[in-house]
Amino acid sequence: MNENPNDHWRDWVSDIHSGFGDDGIAFLHTMDAVVRWGMARKIIPHSTPQAQCLKAVSEMGELADATLKGDLLEMRDAVGDVTVCLIMLCELADLDFKECLDAAFDEIKDRKGTLTKEGVFVKCEETDHD
Ligand SMILES: [Mg+2]
């Protein structure tokens, strides 16, 4: 677990500020507030990555339900709840949430395939790897 959850956020500030401006800073402040909330409630360190994973899956169920119903307010709530659980999981597992997202994006960013209107993803074989 990170001794000070602000350490890794601080490192991102200059990068994000130059790339995303005030929205990036606001995002980091929100993530920092989520971590502090988790620490104040002792979720960090008393919960476990496994418990937060199960909670995230439960919240995903709520997101699926809201999505199927087309309920945008509930979808917004559920996306937030899933994200909070994932942030808690990362803190408990000593993972950096942004690094996880960056790694996922780094893996897909050069893919050239596209999704058809029928929902089929067509890979560009020369550049896409799985
Ligand atoms: Mg919920």
Please give the share of the chain, as a percent, with pLDDT higher than 90.
Answer: 65
Residue 84 has pLDDT above 70, yes or no: yes
3 state SS of 4:
coil
What pLDDT is recorded for position 123? 85
Q: What is the pLDDT of residue 60?
A: 98
CA of 79 relative to ligand 1 center, distance in Å:
8
CB neighbours of residue 85 within 10 Å = 23
pLDDT at 57 over 80: yes
pLDDT at 90 over 70: yes
Q: Which two tokens stand for residue 34?
A: 């989520």
For 10-52, write each residue's pLDDT tens digit.
Answer: 666 666 655 666 777 788 889 999 999 999 999 999 999 999 9
pTM, two decimal places: 0.78
Task: Kindly give the distance from the C-alpha atom of residue 68 to the centroid of ligand 1, in angstroms, as a whole number.
Answer: 15
Q: How far is the CA of 32 from the centre of ligand 1 (A)?
A: 20
Q: d(Cα 97, Cα 87) in Å, to the nearest integer?
A: 6
Average pLDDT of the residues of the chain: 87
Asked if residue 9 lies in contact with residue 28, where contact means CB atoms within 8 angstroms, the answer is yes
3 pLDDT more than 60:
no
Average pLDDT over residues 95-103: 92
Using the mean position of ligand 1's atoms as its centre, give its distance from the Cα of residue 124 in Å: 38
**Ligand 1 centroid to residue 61 C-alpha, Å:** 9
**Cα of 83 to ligand 1 centre, how many Å?**
11
Instruction: Round to whole Å and give the CA distance between 65 and 17.
Output: 36
Domains of the chain plus CATH, in order, are: 6-95 (1.10.287)
